[in-house]
Structure 1
């Protein structure tokens, strides 16, 4: 039992360290949380997607991705195109201060939010590197690799829930146009920078 617990804690720690890093997916969850819009759905999609990918990595699927460079290239170009498009939308919001605050914006349709969230998760090659390759590879070094995976999944669910719900609690304090202009400006820069890194990595 101690060995199982140690593997689970290792998965929790490593996954937590990877997932907390600011990235495109986290920025999207943060913005949805601040808007208090479809938060439960977004959190569930991100956490469930991570669970699927972590499970695949623990099961050894990471080696397939490592031997299929054409898949990596497809993900890289598709992800970069999506991120650049989202960066343009965020930059446009910055230039239209009247459409920045949550109360001043029409609610996004659930279908659009779901598709956007799925794109942030499944079109981002870094997600595959973190889950299939890094977490999957480390899991193979543990005698109780599925306990490691369970710890990693727990960290993912905990983080996305805390980010989405925590951001919603802060929304009343951040309901100023200047704050939302800064947020969308940061999102635009982050998305464009991430897309650039994806393209240069190729």
Structure 2
């Protein structure tokens, strides 16, 4: 019983260690949380995507990426191209003060484009496959028959993190009441996106 309890807790902690970092997906969730636009949908997409990737990893899909290195290369190039495009948009927002107001038309976005952006930031990032499918999957499989409990714990960790990030962002609303704060955030997002895209193209 104790072992059965510790295994999902280990998965929970390991899963959080992989996703609690500054990255393209987290930056997007944070921004949507600050804007209070489609937060539930974005959190759901991120959490469900992570759960599916974890499922694939625990099921042994990481072998595919190990056996087909060209697949990782294709995803890396596509992801880098998308991130650079998103970085340009963030940079434009940072240079346009009127776009920083959360209630302005420029800050609003329809649900479908928002979800497509969220999906792209998640699934076109090769790091998510290396971390979630390969690394987490490998660690989960060291737990033998309890590997699914480990994976379940990791999936719960994703839900907790994305929900906290998306809905906890509103606590920063007083800070982002000023347009300059939005400009700084988008400037940081642009830099992060460019940095991640560069690391993908360099194969890091």
TM-score, normalization by structure 1: 0.97
State the aligned residue count. 202
Root-mean-square deviation over aligned CA pairs: 1.1
| Structure 1 position 173, deviation (Å) | 3.7
Comparing 31-40 with 5-14, greater Cα deviation is found at: 5-14
Match of 1:34 in 2: 34
Cα distance in 2 for residues equivalent to 1:85 and 1:168: 27
> What residue is the counterpart of 1:59 in the other structure?
59
Question: Out of 145, 149, 155, which is 2:157 matched to?
Answer: 155
Question: Which residue matches 1:71?
Answer: 71
Q: Show the counterpart of 1:84.
A: 84
Structure 1 stretch displaced more, 173-182 or 185-194:
173-182
Which residue of structure 2 lines up, in the alignment, with residue 10 of structure 1?
Answer: 10
Structure 1 unaligned spans of 5+: none
Aligned equivalent of 1:118: 119
TM-score under structure 2 length normalisation: 0.96
Q: 1:172 Cα deviation (Å)?
A: 4.0
Q: Could you list the runs of 5+ residues in structure 2 that have no partner in the other structure?
A: none
Secondary structure of the structure 1 residue equivalent to 2:21: coil
Partner residue in 1 for 2:131: 130
| 1:48 alignment partner, SS class | helix
Q: Which runs of 4+ in 1 moved over 3 A?
A: none
Task: Give the Cα–Cα distance (whole angstroms) in 2 for the partners of residues 88 and 147 of structure 1.
Answer: 41
